Amino acid sequence: MHLAEKQARICVYNSLLSEAAVLGFDYGYSLDYPNMLCLWEAQFGDFSNGAQTIIDQFIVSAESKWQRPSGIVLLLPHGYEGQGPEHSSARLERFLQACAEDNIQVCNVTTSAQYFHVLRRQMKRDFIKPLIIMTPKSLLRAKFASSPAAEFTSGRFEEILNSPEVGPADKMKRVILCSGKVYYDLLNYRTARKIEDTAIIRIEQLYPFAEKKLREMLKPFPKSAKLVWCQEEPQNMGAWSFIEPLLRVMFCSEIAYAGRSASASPAVGALARHKREQARLVADAFSV
């Protein structure tokens, strides 16, 4: 790919299907060549299971253990799209359980401009940290997730995003918090039913958590507005166990849950059942 006379070097490899071996190599590469944006992408986020040793022993802990920072980026296709239990979950909950002391960044972005800016931020900062990005496959070519050119050439990465306004802030009776592609299901549901008393807020960066920014965003809403966390993942997975205690302490209030019930498997194996579950959890976000 040729974009400019003095452009940076780009290397693209279609590597062998040994997640532990390739991620181990790429992690080592990121240590030795910190000025290159090194991205490792799993075919599906679930396949990071095969590289869990590298993630646990090195990526999330090496800076604490050996003072070896890395700027490696993990792109993990994650999103409930009816493709079954081995092609849905990048085990977001595992990464969030491994977060502490600003050791890594965990993001679940919803627009192409956000994706661009979070990668740009990764190289422009004056420090380096591993970056974990949930990358739903259904958003790759989705027109509604695309961004105008102006959003690439200006602005910055936003840790939290609002949805389009539907009415005066002081009239909101419910605020739905979510992360990732479920936002578009919620937005479509709200639009189709002309619901005007519910705001939707996207958490684009789950860790480090932008607590101050979220407080500012919620200030215009009535204190009586009901707070709901909506996710696609089962209740014992996804971000719920991580974010519920944070929100409860922040707002001194119980947080309602809308999502799949706890499950032994990351996802069901039948498309029809998946669709029923997805429709139910979106509706629950507006009614629980």
The predicted-structure confidence for 236-265, as pLDDT tens digits, reads as follows: 999 999 999 999 999 989 999 999 999 999
Domain 160-285 = CATH 3.40.50.11610: yes
- 64 class by beta-carbon count within 10 Å (0-12 exposed, 13-18 middle, 19+ buried): exposed
pLDDT of residue 13: 81
Q: Is the alpha carbon torsion for 219, 222, 227, 231 positive or negative?
A: negative
Residues of the chain with pLDDT under 70: 1
Asked if 215 contacts 177 with a C-beta cutoff of 8 angstroms, the reply is no
Report which of 166, 150, 77, 69 is spatially closest to residue 117, judged by C-alpha positions: 150
CATH topology of domain 19-145: Rossmann fold (3.40.50)
Could you give the angle at which helices 211-218 and 240-251 cross, rounded to 10 degrees?
60
pLDDT of residue 104: 98
Q: What percent of the chain has pLDDT over 90?
A: 88
Domains 19-145 and 160-285 share a fold: yes
Please give the DSSP secondary-structure letter assigned to residue 222: -
Asked if 104 contacts 130 with a C-beta cutoff of 8 angstroms, the reply is yes
pTM of the model: 0.93
The predicted-structure confidence for 132-160, as pLDDT tens digits, reads as follows: 999 999 998 899 999 999 999 999 999 99
Parse the chain into domains and list their residue ranges: 19-145, 160-285
Encode 177-194: b = buried (16+ Cβ within 10 Å), e = exposed: bbbbbbbbbbbebbeeee
pLDDT of residue 1: 61
Asked if 99 contacts 56 with a C-beta cutoff of 8 angstroms, the reply is no
